[in-house]
Amino acid sequence: VHYDPAPMIGMQPTLQMSEDLSKDRLSSMIRDTPVLRERIDDRSRNSGNTILHKVFPGGHITMVGANSPASLASRPVRVLLADELDRYPPSAGTEGDPLYLAEQRTKTFWNRKIVVTSTPTIKGKSRIETEYQNSTMGVWHVPCPHCGEMQTLEWGKIKFDPEKFRERTDRSVTMVCGACGAVGTETEWKKQSAKGVYIEEHPERETKGFFINGLASNFSHWEEIVHKFLDAKDDA
């Protein structure tokens, strides 16, 4: 919208989810970001903007649902942002694969951009897993806070005492370096994110792909992840 305006689509699994995202996140982002607020009149009824369609100089963004054939059959766009792919229905009504239908709307642009994201679901059946396996397969690496060796944050390196964790006598969660064996706290490892890089398994491929897991997320704490893991294990 600011640097490279163009006609865009933001696609969610359902039309209702697109509407909710527009109300809860897109509108608030426009309101709180000066350069967006200058370009998108999200308050006036006479601006031509609706919940699912925002107009700005040089383009627009239309929010659509993968379950709605009508919303996928409209004007051409240069940028497609397809979110939560693994939750898309197999077909948009009787029209076919919703991702394919949306991608067809970018065909008239030589400089089109298609971004597909999702939390993976079932291994071997996940669509985002298939997309990723056909990409450069970049995996997030950070340096060890002690020796500096680049590595991934992996569940197998996480250390905690299950019994003490359940009893709430010791809820400390740490990670062991795969190179030097030093133990680091969540804070120590996540501070290394500023030096993190995606290392690609297939850099020769045209499609860029990126994988990052919840252990690297600033929105998920290791204690919370361990707690959910133990709950799931106890319920199994």
Q: What is the pTM of this model?
A: 0.87
| Predicted local distance difference test score (pLDDT) of residue 45 | 63
pLDDT averaged over 10-residue windows placed end to end, the chain, 236 residues:
96 96 95 95 77 94 92 88 96 89 94 96 95 97 98 96 94 96 97 97 97 93 96 85
Question: 36 with 88: CB under 8 angstroms?
Answer: no
| Predicted local distance difference test score (pLDDT) of residue 48 | 75
Show the tokens assigned to 222.
């290791």
Of 90, 82, 71, nearest in space to 11 by CA: 82
Question: 92 with 67: CB under 8 angstroms?
Answer: yes
Give me the half-sphere count of Cα atoms (radius 13 Å) on the Cβ side of residue 158. Answer: 21
| Predicted local distance difference test score (pLDDT) of residue 73 | 79
